[in-house]
């Protein structure tokens, strides 16, 4: 599994190395203040991610009443879009109305996440749709918090450091879970169309998001989970006790999904 640094993209595995300048600043609150002053955009990213986590918590635990759940859901999705927009600001050059710039924009996972937020910002609250933004925000906020703790010194905030390390150590499992959740959302949205909870346009837009995810250069998890699901399904279909009608249905589903898979370009 490739290790991808935090600055590479929103869906990257967080960088676990201490920030540069730690030994020069000598540690302590002054080192943290200097680091934040010289990395204002990273501070804004931290605040937007923490806000995403807080709003997601108030959605999942509606202590302000059930009527507040929809409000906090939309705020969490909007903050996720804000985080993605800030990451695009970091990664892309100045805006140019050219085909090359547009191609660069569409290759960025942060652009895909921004598109994701636009899809669900005005929809009814969907817990499955909130899970990826929440987990991404937790992972990347934890990474940045660990950098700040490292600046303060090796013996500071031991309990928080331990919690952050535990979360980062399980990042591969979390990223795989996020990819599985993003795949499961698609049939769930199709079902919601027939129940009238979303319009027919939502699954069409989300299908486009999944094709972006599948062809991502820095986030291999969606493609891996699709491949593993196909292997599991084909193994089940090959068993002699599998009903024939179910075998035919699953085989047709595999064929249809494989036909829709975007062509992979060489890295």
Q: Report pTM.
A: 0.83
The per-residue pLDDT for 166 is 87
Q: Which among 36, 222, 249 is positioned nearest to 145, based on CA atoms?
A: 36
* Contact assessment for residue 151 and residue 19, using Cβ atoms and an 8 Å cutoff: yes
Rounded Cα distance between 212 and 84, Å, is: 15
- Contact between 22 and 31 under an 8 Å Cβ cutoff? The reply is yes
Average pLDDT, the chain: 84
Average pLDDT over residues 143-159: 80
Distances (CA, A) of 193 to 97, 190, 199: 36, 5, 6
pLDDT in tens, 171-222: 999 999 999 999 999 999 999 999 888 889 999 999 999 999 998 888 889 9
Is a pLDDT exceeding 80 seen at residue 158?
Answer: no
Decide if pLDDT at 66 tops 50: yes
């Amino acid at each position: 599994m490739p290790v991808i640094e935090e600055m590479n993209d929103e869906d990257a595995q967080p960088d676990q190395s201490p920030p540069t300048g730690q030994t020069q600043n000598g540690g302590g609150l002054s080192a943290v203040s200097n680091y934040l002053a010289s990395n204002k955009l990273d501070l804004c990213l931290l605040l937007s991610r923490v806000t995403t986590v807080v709003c997601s918590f108030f959605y999942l635990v509606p202590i302000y009443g059930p009527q507040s759940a929809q409000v906090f859901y939309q705020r969490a999705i909007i903050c996720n879009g804000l985080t993605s927009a800030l990451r695009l600001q970091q990664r892309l050059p100045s805006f140019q109305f050219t085909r090359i710039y547009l191609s660069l924009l569409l290759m960025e996972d942060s652009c895909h996440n921004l598109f994701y937020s636009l899809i669900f910002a005005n929809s009814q609250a969907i817990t499955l749709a909130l899970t990826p933004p929440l987990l991404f925000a937790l992972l990347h906020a934890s990474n940045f918090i660990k950098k700040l703790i490292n600046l303060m010194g090796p013996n500071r905030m031991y309990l928080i450091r331990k919690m952050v390390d535990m979360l980062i150590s399980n990042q591969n499992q979390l990223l795989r879970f996020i990819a599985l959740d993003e795949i499961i959302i698609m049939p769930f949205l199709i079902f919601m169309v027939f129940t009238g909870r979303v319009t027919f346009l939502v699954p069409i837009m989300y299908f486009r998001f999944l094709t972006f995810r599948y062809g991502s250069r820095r986030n291999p998890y969606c493609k891996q989970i699709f491949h593993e699901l196909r292997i599991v399904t084909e193994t089940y279909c090959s068993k002699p006790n599998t009903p024939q009608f179910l075998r035919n249905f699953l085989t047709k589903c595999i064929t249809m999904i494989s036909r829709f898979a975007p062509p992979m370009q060489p890295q």
